[in-house]
Amino acid sequence: MLELRHVSKSFGQKQVLQEISLHVASGEFVSLIGPSGSGKSTLFNLIGGLLGPDAGEIYLNGEEITNKHGFISYMPQQASLFPWRTIIENVLLGQELQGKKDYELAEAMLERAGLGDVIHAYPHELSGGMKQRVAFIRALLSPQSLMLLDEPFSALDEFTRTDMQKWLLSIWEDYEQSILFITHSIDEALFLSDKIIILSVNPAEIKDVIEVPFIRPRDGDLLLSEEFLQWKKKIIDVIQF
């Protein structure tokens, strides 16, 4: 579904991305992991069409989307909810931008996501974790079939984060959406994804791609299993190499 072919990008003298080629299949959950400053956000801006690559092309469902926007759905690091809109109005924003609103679907989805009580509340009345849930539902409800998630849980505390990861899986597993997920937590990447892409820094290149073998649905016990720790060690070795 999403394909990047030999994408490179520099800012002035500094090369940020070098020859990045990657692939996200339909319904696949792919994580991008790498140290800070490895150009992950730049990569997102390229896919979103906010920046143009110096070389290479980006395809979505076989169609070239290099330099074009409106083809992906996005969830930023900060929830970025609009404070003057109620939760339901916020959730409908992605659809609104593309033209058609489905109020009933949004309502049903909020109910299912455990946000039924706050449909008509304003964002400032919600906790950090709740806001991120709303932001995720907003991305999921947008009509685009690929979601980019930019470190969505990094601002949350440890307890909330684990809850959020489980919650995200439980919601996402019912939908067809593909996800490209930026994180710098190895645990998070392993727990959530089908595939992990490890990036190096200065300039970012793809170091390795790891297929995660755990079956779905996954639960919290997985995080403490022997197998999980072995995979974690494997990834650390790749990063440090």
Partner 1 sequence: MKTSLLKKVWRPSLAILLFIGLWEVATRLFSIEEWLLPSPSDIVMEARNVIPTFLPHLGSTVTLSVSGFLIGTTVGLGVATILHLMPRVRETFFPFIIISQNMPIIVLAPLLVIWFGFNALPKLIIITLACFFPIAVSALGGFTQTNRELVHYMKMMGANKSQLFWKLELPHAVPSIFSGLKIAGTYSVMAAVVSEWLGAQKGIGVFMTLAASSYRTSRVFVAIIVAMVISLAFYGLILLLEKFFIRWQQKGENV
Residues engaged in binding partner 1 (CB under 8 A): 44-45, 48-50, 69-74, 76, 78, 80, 82-85, 93-94, 96-98, 122, 124-125, 142, 148
DSSP run (H or E) holding 3: strand 2-11
In the bound state with partner 1, the residue whose beta carbon lies nearer, of 148 and 189, is: 148
β-strand pairing of 14-24 with 29-33: unpaired
Measured distance CA(36)–CA(39) in Å, rounded: 8
Distance of closest approach, residue 50 Cβ to partner 1, in angstroms? 6
Distance of closest approach, residue 123 Cβ to partner 1, in angstroms? 8
Q: Going by C-beta distance under 8 Å and a sequence separation of 6 or more, which residues neighbour residue 143?
A: 73, 94, 95, 98, 100
Distance of closest approach, residue 138 Cβ to partner 1, in angstroms? 9
Distance of closest approach, residue 142 Cβ to partner 1, in angstroms? 7
In the bound state with partner 1, the residue whose beta carbon lies nearer, of 30 and 146, is: 146
For 102, what's the count of Cα atoms within 13 Å in the CB-facing half-sphere?
12
In the bound state with partner 1, the residue whose beta carbon lies nearer, of 48 and 56, is: 48
Q: Going by C-beta distance under 8 Å and a sequence separation of 6 or more, which residues neighbour residue 220?
A: 162, 166
In the bound state with partner 1, the residue whose beta carbon lies nearer, of 8 and 73, is: 73
Distance of closest approach, residue 223 Cβ to partner 1, in angstroms? 30
Q: Token digits for 193?
A: 């994804």
In the bound state with partner 1, the residue whose beta carbon lies nearer, of 90 and 200, is: 90
In the bound state with partner 1, the residue whose beta carbon lies nearer, of 93 and 171, is: 93
Distance of closest approach, residue 241 Cβ to partner 1, in angstroms? 33
Distance of closest approach, residue 239 Cβ to partner 1, in angstroms? 27
Measured distance CA(236)–CA(220) in Å, rounded: 21
In the bound state with partner 1, the residue whose beta carbon lies nearer, of 123 and 210, is: 123
In contact, 106 and 181? CB cutoff 8 Å: no
Beta strands, E only, 12-109: 14-24, 29-33, 55-60, 63-64, 73-75
Q: How many CB atoms lie within 10 A of CB 206?
A: 18
Measured distance CA(46)–CA(67) in Å, rounded: 7
